[in-house]
Amino acid sequence: MTSPIEIIQLVAYDGPNILSPSPGVMLLVRSDQHCGNRMRAAIKDAAQFIGLVLANLDVTAEANAGGVLMTATFDTAMPGIGAALCAYVVTGMNHEALGDEQWDRNAPLYTLQARRRREALPVAILQLMAEAYQRGLPTFMREDGSLQIGYGAKGWSIDPEQLAGSGGNPPPVPWDDLGVVTVIAVTGEEQRAATVSHLVNAYQSMAQQVVSHAAATFDEARRLLADPSAEVVILGLATGDLVRRGLPFDRCELAFITDRAGARPPEAVNDEAWVRALGLPMLLSPQPVRLNLTDPGLQSLVPYAPNGVLALG
């Protein structure tokens, strides 16, 4: 009898992550046989059924002593639904392998379809996001349901209900005033908080309005990025959320990587994933990354720094 496919890891990335610069999903499973083509087809069919748009779908397989490890990845603007779809696909493939004709394959899909419709953004919001993209401005949906365009003191937000009740006359967007403020990202563990504190003091000494957090989760970071008083946003990023959800922003001015200390976070499947997550901000910064070159656990990042490395003093 065929053994069931076992989910080892299923991650919904809400921002740039170790696999892609876009939100998306990563599914890692173990099976006793290679069924990557079937999994790819099942993901595509299920996504088409519920109306979920996918991009860059890829399924790879690697045999080892414990069976076959298969990894499915794709980009999607609705990663939470994408992850739920992957869980459904694994369940369906297991029922299929057992010849279970009683399992209702359509009911879960209708549930996901209804969820996708509930969570779909209004057309007017999508149009604003597209306009912002054309202008090179970052956007994200805030926890309160508003659309945020730009960061900090150069940001602006609007509630979708304002658009719905505008009678065809939405409030004007102050495009010329929008942009990004200085965003500085700090990753690591033991030295992260001290580095954030040092940076806060340095920027406050220049009479700039600074908002900061020494261990920001994804949602906490987004709240600071939307703070209309912020001229500088300094984010010490909590490692677990960094691994699990990705980066809360699409650009930063500077990146500091302080150390790879302590135990590997449970969200990371291995040390490589842990280190790659710590290095994510350097991929979005136009300046050389400030890296602790005395930490041997960070040496593997050096060749991948797109704009070079400066020693973190």
* Separation between Cα atoms, residue 223 and residue 212, nearest integer Å: 11
Structure confidence at residue 63 (pLDDT): 87
* Separation between Cα atoms, residue 36 and residue 162, nearest integer Å: 46
Structure confidence at residue 278 (pLDDT): 98
Q: What is the pLDDT of residues 227-259, one digit of tens each?
A: 999 999 999 999 999 999 999 999 999 999 999
Per-residue confidence band for 262, with pLDDT thresholds at 50, 70 and 90: very high
**Amino acid at the residue 187:** T
Range 145-160 average pLDDT: 95
Q: Which residues contact 54 (CB under 8 A, 6 or more apart)?
A: 43, 44, 47, 74, 75, 76, 82
Q: What is the pLDDT of residues 110-134, one digit of tens each?
A: 999 999 999 999 888 999 999 999 9
Give me the helix-helix angle, 36-50 and 79-97, nearest 10°: 130
Range 5-22 average pLDDT: 95
Q: What is the pLDDT of residues 17-44, one digit of tens each?
A: 999 999 999 999 999 888 889 999 999 9
What percent of the chain shows pLDDT beyond 70? 97
Strand 289-291 with 254-257, pairing = parallel
Q: What is the pLDDT of residues 173-188, one digit of tens each?
A: 999 999 999 999 999 9
What is the chain's mean pLDDT, rounded? 94
* Separation between Cα atoms, residue 89 and residue 213, nearest integer Å: 39
For 260, the token pair is: 């790879």
Structure confidence at residue 3 (pLDDT): 65
Structure confidence at residue 1 (pLDDT): 45
Q: What is the pLDDT of residues 197-214, one digit of tens each?
A: 999 999 999 878 999 999
Q: What is the pLDDT of residues 164-176, one digit of tens each?
A: 666 656 788 999 9
Q: What is the DSSP letter of 105?
A: S
Structure confidence at residue 50 (pLDDT): 97
Would you call 227 exposed, middle or buried from its count of C-beta atoms within 10 A (0-12, 13-18, 19+)? middle
The DSSP result for 208-264, as a single string, is --EEEEEEE-HHHHHHHHT-TT-SEEEEEE-HHHHHHH--S-S--SEEEE----SSP
Measured in whole angstroms, the distance separating CA 184 from the mean position of its chain's CA atoms is: 17
CB atoms within 10 A of CB 131: 14
Alpha helices in the chain (DSSP H): 36-50, 79-97, 106-119, 123-134, 160-164, 192-204, 218-225, 239-245, 271-278
Structure confidence at residue 166 (pLDDT): 60
Range 269-279 average pLDDT: 95
Structure confidence at residue 120 (pLDDT): 93
